[in-house]
């Protein structure tokens, strides 16, 4: 029971626990043709480069990252299946722009619809999937906005699930990086985002990935392109090298080639200047508790597997644990009771809180009486 409680407490703390030691990162001067851009390291979520990252603007079919996220989450929750047969409605088959030309009432396996959205940015397949998951595109879009709020996408508003130009349909480079990071946590998507060419309808309709980086950039493994008159040319590009996953978001480039060049510029900068340093979890001792029903409380912390550092960083950080000699009861599970700090050359490079992983209640008169009786009976 105690192990389960410990795991539960630490899971709750995971989103709020480890915070890198504050560092003022200076962004380099990168020559890129775009209105906004952002480079994020996947594991830490740290921003390595940004330009107008919080300015809301149209994002075209990069929108479909959220659409795909909801579909993948529905699959993993067991609400829908890759083997489901999806039927195209009149509304879905009426979509313009990129499409696979679904006919009204045409049926296709969900896996092929999903492949068409991710690889070829098919608007008709995207709407059909949204209707299949939520019953209607309107309800699906409402879910998209709720999920965006959950992810902290404060400057995003979805009006449709495709990214076609619509009044009020906006996001930012930072928000797009957040939803891209969330989607990259689902292994299923790599079965589709890494496809260069494929087909649907038993080979009758060919698909070619709109993300040219998949073929021409080392380590590229996603994610989604987009272009409309209002958004111009956009991409959320993902690539992984030497165990480090990066996300490069580009909005408002003047051409398709320019958006890919901008993404490559940021990715090249990230891979050339940063690396992940393995971070081993230290042994944290239990802390004595005075006046509690238990003599000690389990202390623990939640840490990432690696620490993001600049490649010029050559010092081996040392771990320093700070805990009180004892605690006074009561102690609540989740109380911050100490810190763990990694230092290199005397400078803190990373810090995280240490928390009580269990509740230790204060001794009551009744508890003390029972303990006394136990000792008397044993005598």
**Other CB atoms closer than 10 Å to residue 81's CB: what's the count?**
12
In this predicted model, what pLDDT tens digit does every residue of 82-107 receive, in sequence order? 999 999 999 999 999 999 999 999 99
In this predicted model, what pLDDT tens digit does every residue of 173-228 receive, in sequence order? 999 999 999 999 999 999 999 999 999 999 999 999 999 999 999 999 999 999 99
Where are the domains positioned within the chain? 2-17+279-366, 36-274
The CA distance from 28 to 5, in Å, is: 45
In this predicted model, what pLDDT tens digit does every residue of 132-165 receive, in sequence order? 999 999 999 999 999 999 999 999 999 999 999 9
State the greatest distance between any 2 C-alpha atoms of the chain, in Å, as a whole number.
87
Looking at per-residue pLDDT, the higher value among 275 and 379 belongs to 275
Q: Residue 13: what pLDDT?
A: 47
Residue with tokens 């993902």: 238
Q: Kindly report the average pLDDT of the chain as a whole number.
A: 91
Residue 297, SS3? Answer: strand
User: Is the pLDDT score of 16 beyond 90?
Assistant: no
The CA distance from 89 to 92, in Å, is: 5
In this predicted model, what pLDDT tens digit does every residue of 227-252 receive, in sequence order? 999 999 999 999 999 999 999 999 99
The CA distance from 370 to 167, in Å, is: 70
Residue with tokens 């993993």: 76
Tell me which long-range contacts 339-344 makes (C-beta under 8 A, separation of at least 24): 340/282, 340/284, 340/301, 340/303, 341/21, 342/279, 342/307, 342/317, 342/318, 343/317, 343/318, 344/313, 344/315, 344/316, 344/317, 344/318
Q: Residue 120: what pLDDT?
A: 97
The answer to whether 41 and 270 are in contact (CB under 8 A) is yes
The CA distance from 93 to 88, in Å, is: 6
Q: What is the DSSP string of 138-158?
A: HHHHHHHHHHHHHTT-TT-B-
Looking at per-residue pLDDT, the higher value among 348 and 168 belongs to 168
Q: Residue 365: what pLDDT?
A: 58
The answer to whether 327 and 290 are in contact (CB under 8 A) is yes
Average pLDDT over residues 65-71: 98
In this predicted model, what pLDDT tens digit does every residue of 320-370 receive, in sequence order? 999 999 999 899 999 999 999 988 777 888 899 999 999 988 876 555 555
Confidence label for 3 from pLDDT (cuts 50, 70 and 90): very low
DSSP conformational letter for 362: B
Which CATH number is 2-17+279-366 given? 2.60.410.10
Q: Residue 348: what pLDDT?
A: 86
Q: What is the dihedral of CA 74, 80, 81, 82, to 10 degrees?
A: -70
Confidence label for 2 from pLDDT (cuts 50, 70 and 90): very low
Which CATH number is 36-274 given? 3.40.710.10
In DSSP terms, 362 is beta-bridged to: 292
Dihedral over Cα of 197, 199, 204, 208: its sign: negative
Residues carrying an active site annotation: 61, 64, 121
Q: Residue 335: what pLDDT?
A: 94
pTM here is 0.86
| Alpha carbon distances (Å) from 50 to 32, 37, 39, 225, 302 | 12, 6, 6, 19, 28
User: Is the pLDDT score of 4 beyond 50?
Assistant: no
């Amino acid at each position: 029971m105690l192990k389960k409680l410990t795991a539960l407490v630490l899971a709750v703390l995971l989103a709020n626990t480890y915070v890198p030691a504050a560092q003022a990162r200076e962004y380099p001067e990168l020559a890129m043709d775009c209105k906004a851009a952002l480079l994020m390291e996947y594991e830490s979520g740290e921003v390595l480069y940004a330009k107008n990252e919080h300015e809301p603007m149209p994002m075209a079919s990069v929108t479909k990252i959220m659409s795909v996220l909801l579909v993948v989450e529905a699959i993993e929750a067991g609400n829908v299946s890759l083997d489901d047969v999806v039927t195209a409605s009149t509304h879905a088959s009426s979509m313009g722009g990129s499409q696979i030309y679904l006919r009204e009432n045409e049926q296709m396996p969900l896996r092929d619809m999903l492949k068409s959205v991710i690889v070829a940015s098919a608007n008709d397949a995207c709407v059909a999937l949204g209707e299949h998951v939520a019953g209607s595109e309107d309800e699906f879009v409402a879910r998209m906005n709720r999920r965006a709020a959950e992810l902290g996408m404060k400057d995003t508003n979805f009006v449709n699930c495709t990214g076609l130009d619509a009044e009020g349909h906006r996001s930012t480079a930072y928000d797009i990086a957040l939803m891209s990071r969330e989607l990259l946590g689902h292994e299923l998507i790599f079965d589709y985002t890494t496809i260069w060419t494929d087909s649907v309808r038993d080979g009758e309709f060919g698909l070619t990935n709109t993300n040219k980086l998949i073929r021409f950039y080392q380590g590229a493994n996603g994610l989604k392109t987009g272009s409309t008159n209002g958004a111009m040319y956009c991409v959320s590009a993902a690539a992984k090298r030497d165990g480090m996953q990066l996300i490069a978001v580009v909005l408002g480039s003047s051409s398709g080639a320019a958006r890919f060049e901008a993404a490559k510029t940021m990715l090249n900068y990230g891979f050339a200047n940063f690396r992940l340093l393995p971070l081993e979890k230290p042994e944290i001792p239990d802390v004595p508790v005075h006046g509690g029903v238990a003599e000690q409380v389990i202390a623990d912390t939640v840490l990432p597997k690696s620490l993001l550092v600049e490649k010029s960083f050559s010092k081996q950080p040392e771990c320093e644990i700070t805990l009180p000699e004892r605690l006074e009861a009561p102690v609540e599970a989740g109380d911050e009771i100490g810190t763990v700090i990694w230092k290199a050359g005397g400078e803190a490079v990373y810090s995280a809180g240490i928390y009580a992983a269990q509740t230790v209640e204060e001794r009551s008169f009744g508890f003390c009486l029972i303990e006394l009786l136990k000792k008397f009976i044993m005598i």
